Amino acid sequence: MFLRKKIFSLGIFITATMLMLAACGNNNSQTSGTATTDSKGSSEEAKTFKLAHITPTDHLWHRAAEKFGEELKTRSDGKMSLEIYPSSQLGTEADMVQQIESGSIDFGFITAAYLSSRAPDFAAWFMPYGFKSLEDAYAAGDSDVGKKILASAEGTGLKGLGYLLGGQRVMIFKDKEAMSPDDMKGLKLRVTPSPPMQDFYKSAGVSPEGLPLPDVYAALQTGVIDGMDMDLDATITNKFYEVAKYVAVTNHMVWPSVILTNDKKFNSLSAEEQTIVNDSLQAAIDWASTTRTAEEEQFRAELEKNGMKVYEISPDKFEQQINEFDNKYKEQSPLIKEFIETFRK
C-alpha cells in the first residue's frame, strides 16, 4: 500500500515537472503555432510572429512593419500574422538584439548605426554624402558587398534578412542657422552613439552627445543640446519642431535599419514559409522606398508650416570632413573600402 502511494506521488511529480518544462519552453519561443487547414486542404501550423522596433507608430518603419504583416497574411492564406511592438516597448536596441538572439522576438528593425558598434563593417553605410538618392542606397544593399556587410551581423544566433532605409539624415539647430562646419564649431549636437557618425561630426568641430531618441526632445528643450542629427520623418513624429527653429536638409547620410531574425527559428520554417517571409519583407521594403521618396516635399512643407526654417547647406562645405572620413574608414577594412569605392557618387 505504502509502495503504491509512493509510485502514485512520483507519477504526479513527474507529470507536473514535464508540464512546467513545456511551459518554460513555450516562453522561450514566442512564435505561437496552431495547426490549421487551408482552402486547398493542406495542413500547416498557423504562426504569429513578433516584430520590435524603436520608432513611433506614424514613422515610416512602423508603417513598413504593418505592410509586412499585411503581406504575410495575404501570401500565407491567413496562416501567418504579425504582432508589432513599436516605440522601444520591448527595450533598447541592445535589449531587442538580445531577445532576437534568445528567440523571444522573431524580427527586429535594428539601426545600422547601433550595429556599427558591434559589427564595424556597418560603418561603410555612413560615408558622408555617399549616395545621390534612396534608390541608389537600396541598390547598395542588394549588392554583393552590401550583403557581405549584412552577414557581418551574424554569428551569435542572428540572421540578417535585408535593409529597410529611413529618410536621409538632416541637421536640426535649436536657434542658430548654421551654414558650414565653421558655424557648427563648439555646438553640442545629439548624434547617435555610432563611431562613424560621431567621427563625422567631431571632424566638423561639434561635441556629439550620444543620447537615445526618447531623451532628445527634453534635452533640446532644456538646452542640454543645441541641435541634433535626425531624419525629417522623426523630426515630425517626435515634434522636434516645437523646440527647434532650423532644419538644414543636408541629406548627408543614409539611415538603414537591418531586419534581423533568429537564424535557428528562421531555418526551422519550411522552404515555402521562408519564401513567404522573404517575399513579404521585400514587398514592405519596396513600399517604404517608394513611399518615402514621394513624401520628401510634404515633410519639408509640414515643418515649414510648423514654424521651422527649412534650408540647405552645400555639400562642398563638408569636403574636408568627407575626405577625412573616407581616408580613415577605407583603411579599417576591405569591405568598407570596397563599399565606398563602389558607391560613392
Q: Which is nearer to ligand BEZ, 226 or 231 (CB)?
A: 231
DSSP 8-state code for residue 121? G
Helix, strand, coil % (nearest 5) of the chain? 55, 20, 30
Beta-ladder partners of 80: 47
From the list 71, 121, 199, 231, which residue makes contact with ligand BEZ (rule: CB under 6 A)?
231
**C-alpha grid cell for residue 79?**
496562416
Q: Which is nearer to ligand BEZ, 31 or 198 (CB)?
A: 198
Q: Which is nearer to ligand BEZ, 238 or 321 (CB)?
A: 238
Please give the size of the binding site for ligand BEZ, defined by CB under 6 A: 9
CA-based angle 286:287:289, to the nearest 5? 65
Q: Does 230 bind ligand BEZ (CB under 6 A)?
A: yes
Q: Which is nearer to ligand BEZ, 82 or 230 (CB)?
A: 230
Q: Does 55 bind ligand BEZ (CB under 6 A)?
A: yes
**To the nearest whole angstrom, how small is the minimum distance from the Cβ of residue 191 to ligand BEZ?**
9
| Interface region with ligand BEZ, contact rule CB under 6 A, candidates 115-123, 229-237, 304-312, 322-330 | 229-237
Q: Which is nearer to ligand BEZ, 96 or 213 (CB)?
A: 213
Helices H, strands E: what count in the chain? 14, 12
The residues, any chain, with a CB within 8 Å of residue 159's CB and separated by 6 or more, are 260, 261, 262, 263, 266
Residue pair 85/290 in contact (Cβ under 8 Å)? The answer is no
Site string for ligand BEZ, 136-175 (x = CB under 6 A): ------------------------------x---------
From the list 54, 65, 276, 285, which residue makes contact with ligand BEZ (rule: CB under 6 A)?
54
Residues 70 to 99 in contact with ligand BEZ, rule: CB under 6 A: none
Q: Which is nearer to ligand BEZ, 177 or 215 (CB)?
A: 215
Distances (CA, A) of 122 to 6, 130, 138, 300: 61, 14, 15, 29
Distances (CA, A) of 289 to 168, 235, 343: 12, 19, 18
Q: Does 213 bind ligand BEZ (CB under 6 A)?
A: yes
Beta-ladder partners of 85: 52
In the complex, the residues that contact ligand BEZ under the rule CB under 6 A are 54-55, 111, 166, 192, 213, 230-231, 234
